[in-house]
């Protein structure tokens, strides 16, 4: 696996695919800079070697049309502040405007190209568009894990124009190693904590990781499909009735492979999907009609704690309750605390996939786990066992 450390960028122009798809407020201020900060080490390595960096990214979903609300010019100043170098901006990513800006770029300078997705050819994976991008650089670096699962022009197709001169940036290399640690090289026991609402959205992940884990903790809304499938009463809890056979099949597969499945035994139930609803702790298989399970209960959390603290490798994907509401956030916070404790004892912990990352950030666990993945969809597809096109293009 070639990484940025295998190259010296002295006098070279590095074309870097970054993921600067960051949230902006109504005044176009960046409200979460973590993706820009994550790309900083790669950019600085190029500059410190004596090279120049040409950054390309998308922002939002302009659907192939110019939409100035999604212009990367809005983030240029923030990128400059974080990197510590005044970043230049080109009002297009291809054509004369971009070509001229690249030609004028000197060693030690950084150029940010305009939103790739202002061109429909980007998402279409158009070869001519990729070739036009490729002309900007001597070496191609992919450091955008968040888009590595897309076969777009800038993430995948462009790599073919850099035979022998393409590599992973620091961020993407770290992502690959973190997933490998969980899926292939992790010290046992390996525990996967899967939460979220639906079994159907996690089925391929579950089937792929059963050969790799020792413990599978099921939490969140998925719980009730498993409980009802086993004959329990789940009241008004979210439940995929058409996936109950699948849930039972997963339990059979796990048993055959020697994987221990841990399902909640009690839950915090509410009489409405509302932060101010009436609540009570009930056995997970005896939820009354008119009530729904919205968080893990105390006995469940004790069980989960024991499993997590005895693990050496931990994957956390999905919350165990409706953490967005304060009343139902305790379970998810507790899981974060258990993982923190296990990590301090030497376990490797990886958090990835939309809602669990949001929870980790909201409750201040970012620095208490080993690694927080920056790519939601890419992370999930990796866990499903798929080869991501953006990664394959560099390895090719």
The residue from 13, 35, 45, 88 that is catalytic is 35
CB 174 within 8 A of CB 143: no
Do the beta carbons of residue 313 and residue 347 sit within 8 Å?
yes
Q: Which of 64, 91, 108, 354 is catalytic?
A: 354
Q: What is the DSSP letter of 4?
A: G
> Which helix H or strand E contains 313, and what residues bound it?
strand 313-317
Rounded to 5°, angle at Cα 300 from 299 and 306:
95
pLDDT for the residue 361: 87
Which residues does the annotation place in the binding site? 19-21, 35, 58-61, 117, 150, 202, 293, 324, 353-356
pLDDT digits (tens, 9 = 90+) for 121-170: 999 999 999 999 999 999 999 999 888 888 999 999 999 999 999 999 99
Most distant CA pair in the chain, distance: 70
Per-residue model confidence (pLDDT) at position 385: 80
Q: What is the mean pLDDT of residues 329-336?
A: 96
Check whether 325 has a pLDDT greater than 80. Answer: yes
CATH topology of domain 186-383: Rossmann fold (3.40.50)
Task: Identify the CATH number of the domain defined by range 4-173.
Answer: 3.40.50.1260
In the chain, % helix, strand, coil (3-state, to 5) comes to: 40, 15, 40
Give the pLDDT mean for 265-281.
98
What is the predicted pLDDT for the residue at 353? 73
pTM here is: 0.84
Confidence of residue 307 (pLDDT cuts 50, 70, 90): very high
Looking at 210-329, list the stretches that DSSP marks H as alpha helix, in order from N- to C-terminal side: 222-229, 244-256, 298-309
pLDDT in tens, 20-52: 999 999 999 999 898 999 999 999 999 999 999
Tell me if residue 198 is catalytic: yes
Which band of pLDDT confidence, cut at 50, 70 and 90, is reported for residue 377? confident
The pLDDT tens digits for 59-97 are 999 999 999 999 999 999 999 999 999 999 999 999 999
The pLDDT score that the predictor gives to residue 109 is 98
Q: Which residues are annotated as a binding site for ATP?
A: 202, 293, 324, 353-356
Answer whether 151's CB lies under 8 Å from 160's CB: no
- The ranges assigned to domains in the chain are 4-173, 186-383
Using alpha carbons, list the distances in angstroms from residue 156 to 134, 169, 288, 321, 336: 11, 14, 52, 37, 35
Q: Which of 198, 305, 312, 361 is catalytic?
A: 198
pLDDT band, very low/low/confident/very high, at 203 (cuts 50, 70, 90): confident
pLDDT tens-digit readout, 215-236 = 999 999 999 999 999 999 999 9
Using a pLDDT cut of 70, give the percent of the chain over it. 100
Could you give the C-alpha distances from 86 to 21, 80, 82, 108, in angstroms and in order? 20, 5, 10, 10
Closest CA to 283 of 216, 332, 222, 233: 233
To the query of whether residue 35 is one of the catalytic residues in this protein, the response is: yes
Active site residue 354: yes
- Can you give the pLDDT at residue 19? 95
* CB distance 224 to 293 below 8 Å: yes
Strands of the sheet containing 371-372, edge to edge, are: 260-262, 215-218, 190-194, 313-317, 348-351, 371-372
Q: Which of 64, 108, 377, 385 is catalytic?
A: 377
Same topology between domain 4-173 and domain 186-383: yes
Tell me the binding residues for substrate: 19-21, 35, 58-61, 117, 150
């Amino acid at each position: 696996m070639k990484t940025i450390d295998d190259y010296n960028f002295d006098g070279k122009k590095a074309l870097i695919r970054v993921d600067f798809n960051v949230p902006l407020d109504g005044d176009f201020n960046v409200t979460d800079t973590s993706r820009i900060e994550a790309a900083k080490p790669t950019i600085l390595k190029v500059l410190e070697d004596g090279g120049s960096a040409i950054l390309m990214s998308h922002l939002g979903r302009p659907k192939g049309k110019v939409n100035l609300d999604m212009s990367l010019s809005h983030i240029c100043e923030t990128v400059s502040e974080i990197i510590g170098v005044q970043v230049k901006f080109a009002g297009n990513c291809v054509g004369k405007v971009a070509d001229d800006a690249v030609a004028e770029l000197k060693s030690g300078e950084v150029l940010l190209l305009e939103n790739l997705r202002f061109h429909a050819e980007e998402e279409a994976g158009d070869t001519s568009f990729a070739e036009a991008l490729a002309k900007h650089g001597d070496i191609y670096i992919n450091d955008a894990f968040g888009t590595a699962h897309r076969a777009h022009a800038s993430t995948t197709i462009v790599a073919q124009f850099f035979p022998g001169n393409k590599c992973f940036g620091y961020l993407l290399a770290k992502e690959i190693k973190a997933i490998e640690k969980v899926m292939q090289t992790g010290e046992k026991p390996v525990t996967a904590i899967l939460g979220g609402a639906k079994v159907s959205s996690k089925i391929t992940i579950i089937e792929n990781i059963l050969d790799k884990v020792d413990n599978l903790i099921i939490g969140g809304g998925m719980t009730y499909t498993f409980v009802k499938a086993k004959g329990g009463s789940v009241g008004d809890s979210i439940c995929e009735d058409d996936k109950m056979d699948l849930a039972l099949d997963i339990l059979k597969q796990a048993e055959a492979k020697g994987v221990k499945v841990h399902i909640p035994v009690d839950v915090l139930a509410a009489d409405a999907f509302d932060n101010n609803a009436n609540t009570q702790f009930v056995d997970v298989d005896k939820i009354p009609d008119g009530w729904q399970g919205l968080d893990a209960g105390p006995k469940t959390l004790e069980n989960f704690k024991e499993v997590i603290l005895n693990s050496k490798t931990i994957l956390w994907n999905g919350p165990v309750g409706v953490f967005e509401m304060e009343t139902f956030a305790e379970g998810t916070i507790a899981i974060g605390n258990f993982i923190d404790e296990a990590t301090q004892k030497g376990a490797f912990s990886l958090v990835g996939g939309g809602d669990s990352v949001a929870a980790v950030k909201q409750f201040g666990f970012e620095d208490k786990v080993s690694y927080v993945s920056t790519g939601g969809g890419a992370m999930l597809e990796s866990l499903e066992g798929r080869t991501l096109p953006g990664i394959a293009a560099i390895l090719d």
